[in-house]
Amino acid sequence: MNSPMKDRSNTLILFGITGDLAYKKLFPALYELTVDGIRPRVIGVARSEGNDKTIRARVREALAHHESAHVEDLVSRITYVQGDYTGSETYERLAEVVGDSEPVPVSFLAIPPALFDDVATGLAGAGLDRGRIVVEKPFGRDLGSAKELNEILHRHFPEDSIYRIDHFLGKEAVMNLLVFRFANAMLEGVWNRHHISRVTITMAESFDIAGRGGFYDEVGAIRDVVQNHLLQMIALLAMEPPIDEAADSLRVEKVKVLRAMRAGDPTRSVRGQYLGYLDEAGVAPNSQTETFVAMELFIDSWRWSGVPFAIRAGKAMAETITEAVIEFRPPPTAMFGGADKMAGSSILRFRMKPDNAITLTMQAKTPGDEMVSAPVDLSVDYGEALGGSGPDPYERLIGDALDGDARLFAHQDGVEQSWRIVDTLLDKGDPVLQYSRGGWGPPEANAISPMT
């Protein structure tokens, strides 16, 4: 997608350069940008002891299996500023390294949200609030803390300089939801409550919390993937056509969807926890943190009134699947179903994991003398059909932040509306339902979000 760019930045300040996120995700993304000819200065900031040499060695270690010439190109542009995030001298040294020639330095905060205030204040005190600031999710723990976090950032940065990064939005398959919606005009006539009976979003993972008990037990499935990833998917599916491709135009339409969505109804939600979760290291012995959630949401708009948007997300499930399923209404009378049975509904399936495929299930005549229909699938793997899977999400999003392209980043209004929707479902105190590994969650969830 093409979009007008703001001032391009050639300086990335990476707070938390010694952390796991930088090692596992950001260094590979910066390597791919290097391969593509995007070569910003990288100034790392962290509290760990070290210098340019030790940080460059860490980058080489992270990229040990990559092409050495590009790795050396990247490490040659890396500088390290060691210091405490609360100390003004850290930011004074940082400002000296950045210099006055860079008008819009981009500061990427790969650090816990509790430190955002210190870093934003330090950047402003050193005159580095002239650039952009990129913050990682989670954007708060609930509506109240999200508002507090936004107030902290807004003390020093205007909203159009705050880039809230959610790597899920940078995935090629997620971006395709937007393009598929609005690049195919034939869908517009049926993309409404008159023709669609139900929308189901699934994010099932066959793996468990994988040793992250200390983190996950403070978060849970609703905070981890529903409030951000899955509500954004619904917004992309349900939004009205934007007037153009500009960031503000896309954000306005997504926020309209979230504003129109009712707060989650606790009586139409099910929280579950896989058997064995309490044995994980770092998990409280009596934890009621959900590893599974199913819920039903409604959008009170002219287009979607009465259409349930169901969500099912969980860990230790039967398969790893991320998909959106749109169920169309069946024919109004019993035809071609055989023995007075209704023909089945048509289904449009956007699958993002394990493959990037779009499948349209329609009815066709079965062989033989009788006029009876059966479902047939029309499917395409668009990554294979169009060539490749596109850039890594972090590669795309870091590049966008350097370019000043905010279309794939979350806006304050959208973040707060998302928390409003799920706030009623957080920390309810009711016991979670146990479910076995390798299934689809508690059976009670089937009444709310049936598998399709």
What residues are annotated to the active site? 229
User: Given phi > 0 = left and psi -120 to 50 = alpha, else beta, which region is 425?
Assistant: alpha
**Token code pair at residue 392:** 């890594």
**41-46 and 78-82 beta bridge pairing:** parallel
Write the CA distances from 344 to 196, 219, 323, 325, integer angstroms. Answer: 13, 40, 20, 15
Place of tokens 């999710």: 137
CB 234 within 8 A of CB 297: yes
Write the CA distances from 417 to 142, 231, 273, 404, integer angstroms. Answer: 11, 10, 27, 24
Q: How far apart are CA 407 and CA 170, in angstroms?
A: 10
Q: How far apart are CA 133 and CA 123, in angstroms?
A: 10
Place of tokens 């005159």: 127
What is the DSSP annotation of 288-325? Answer: ---SEEEEEEEB-STTTTT-EEEEEEESSBSS-EEEEE
The CB density around residue 340, as the number of other CB atoms within 10 Å, is: 6
